[in-house]
Homo-oligomer: A and B are copies of this chain.
Amino acid sequence: MIKSMAKNAAGHYARRALLPEGFRDQLAPRAEQEGRLVSALMETFLAYGYDRVAPPLVEYEDSILFGPGAVRAATMFRLMDPDTQRPMALRGDITGQMSRLAATRLKSAPRPLRLAYAGNVLRTKGSQVRPTRQFIQAGVELIGSASLEAEVEVIALAVASLKKVGIAGLSLDLTLAPLVGLLVDRLDLDAEDRLSLIKALDAKDVGGLSVVPEHSRDMFTRLIGCTGPADTVLPQLRELALSGAAGQLVARLGRLIDALDRRLDDVRLTVDPCETHGFEYKSGIGFALFSASAQGELARGGRYLIDGGDDGFEESTGFSVYLDSLMASVRPADRAEKIFLPFGTGTDIGAALREDGHRTVAGLTEVSEPGQEARRLGCSHIWRDGTVRAL
C-alpha cells in the first residue's frame, strides 16, 4: 500500500516544492546559528532577572487584536477554530501577548514584572524592509514601573544582549513618540491639516509647515532641525522651552540621556523627536538600535501603557530583536567541524569524542577509502590509527 501511494505521487515534490513567498527553509549552518543567537539573547535576558514565558502561536482574534495587537490587525493570518467556530489569529507580534499576561494570569505577580520571550511571529504581508512573513521575535517587557530607571535598564539590556552576540559599533536613536501629537493638538487644526503636518514632521519637510499658524511656525521649523547627536540636539530641544506634557517629555529625555551617557560609554546616542512612524503605540520615549555593520535597525522598543481593566493602566517598557535583521548583521557561521568514524570504529571512541565536545559522523557501511568517504560527507577530520587527523 505504501509503495503504491508513493508511486502514484512520484515527482510530486519536484513539481510542488515551492514555498509561499516570504517563507523559507533554513538550512545548515544557518538554522543552527539562528538557534544559538536566540539562546544567547535569552541567556542575557535571564541574567538581568527576566523570566521566560511562552504564549501560544494562536489566540482568539478578539484577544490578540486588542491593545498593541490592533496595530497589526491587517497583517495577521486568520483561521477558524473547528471546535468552537470562533475566529482565531496567528500572532504577528509577541509584545501584545505580554500585555495580556500582565493583565490576566500575572495580574497579581509582584511589580515590576520582568518577562522575556522568544518565538516565531507570522504576517500575511512582507514589507520592503522585512520581506519574510515568518521570523523570530525575542525581547523583554519590564512592567509596572514608571521610573526613568526602567528605561535605562531596558536600553542597557538591549545593548548588552546585542553586544553578547557580537554586534559592535552600536548607536541608539531616541524618539519622543507622543511629542508631535502633543504639539500639533495645541494648534486647533482641522483633521486634514493635522495629518499633513504630522506627515511633514515625520518626513522633516519644512515646506509642509505652511498649515501651521505663523506664531508657531518658527518653533516647528526649529523642531524639525532637532535631529542628530544627542549632545547637540538636546540643548536645541531645551531652547524651545516647551511647556506642559511636551516640556516634561523633553526634561525626561534629558535625564535619560544623562543616565545613558554614564552607563553606555561606547554607544552613540542620537535623537529624532519627530519620528513617529512605527512608534504609534508608544506612550513615551521610544528607541531603536543600529550598528555600523548592519543595514536596518536591530532592535526597537520603548514605553507604552497596558490596559489592566478595572485596575487602570500600567507603564511598560520593553524591546524586541528580530532575528532576520540580526542574522543579516552577524558574520555567517562556518560549517561545523566533524570527525568521520570509519565503519567498525568502537562506539566508546565516538562517545568519548562527543563527550569532549566534538561532532562525529559514523560510517554506516564498510568502504575501501574512508578518507575519501569522510570528505564526501563534509567531515573536516577522520579517526585513523587511534587518533583524530585533519583531512
Contact = CB atoms under 8 A, between A and B. Distances in A.
A205 interface: no
Contact of A49 (B10, B125, B134, B362): B362
The 10 closest A-B pairs by CB, nearest first: A28-B51, A49-B361, A11-B309, A23-B56, A26-B54, A17-B104, A31-B54, A13-B103, A32-B52, A149-B364
Interface of A: 1-3, 5-6, 9-14, 16-21, 23-29, 31-32, 34-35, 39, 42, 46-49, 51-60, 62-63, 66-67, 70, 77-79, 81-84, 86, 88, 90, 97, 99-101, 103-106, 110, 112, 114, 118, 120, 122, 124-125, 133-134, 145, 147, 149-150, 153, 156, 178, 181, 263, 281, 283, 304-305, 307-310, 313, 336, 338, 343, 347, 354, 358-362, 364-365, 376-378
Contacts of A125: 82-83
Given A13-B99, A27-B51, A48-B359, 4 more contacts: A6-B307, A10-B310, A32-B46, A77-B79
Contact of A364 (B9, B52, B63, B145): B145
Nearest to A149: B364
A6 B81 CA distance: 28
Q: Which applies to chain A's interface (DSSP): helix, strand, loop or mixed?
A: mixed
B114 A376 contact: no
Nearest to A113: B377
Given A20-B88, A52-B35, A153-B362, A103 B25 contact: no
Contacts of A34: 54
Contacts of A118: 35
B20 A60 contact: yes
A66 B377 contact: no
A2 B17 CA distance: 45
A14 B336 contact: no
B47 A360 contact: yes
B23 A66 contact: no
Max count, chain B CB within 10 A of own CB: residue among A20, A70, A81, A360: A20
B307 A19 contact: no
Contact of A56 (B56, B134, B309): B134
Contacts of A309: 10-14
Contacts of A35: 39, 42, 52, 54, 118
Nearest to A341: B49
A305 B100 contact: no
Given A14-B103, A47-B359, A104-B17, A263 B149 contact: no
B57 A134 contact: yes
22 contacts: A2-B178, A2-B304, A6-B307, A9-B66, A14-B104, A16-B60, A20-B58, A20-B60, A20-B88, A23-B58, A25-B105, A28-B52, A29-B52, A31-B54, A34-B54, A46-B359, A47-B354, A48-B360, A57-B122, A110-B377, A120-B120, A156-B347
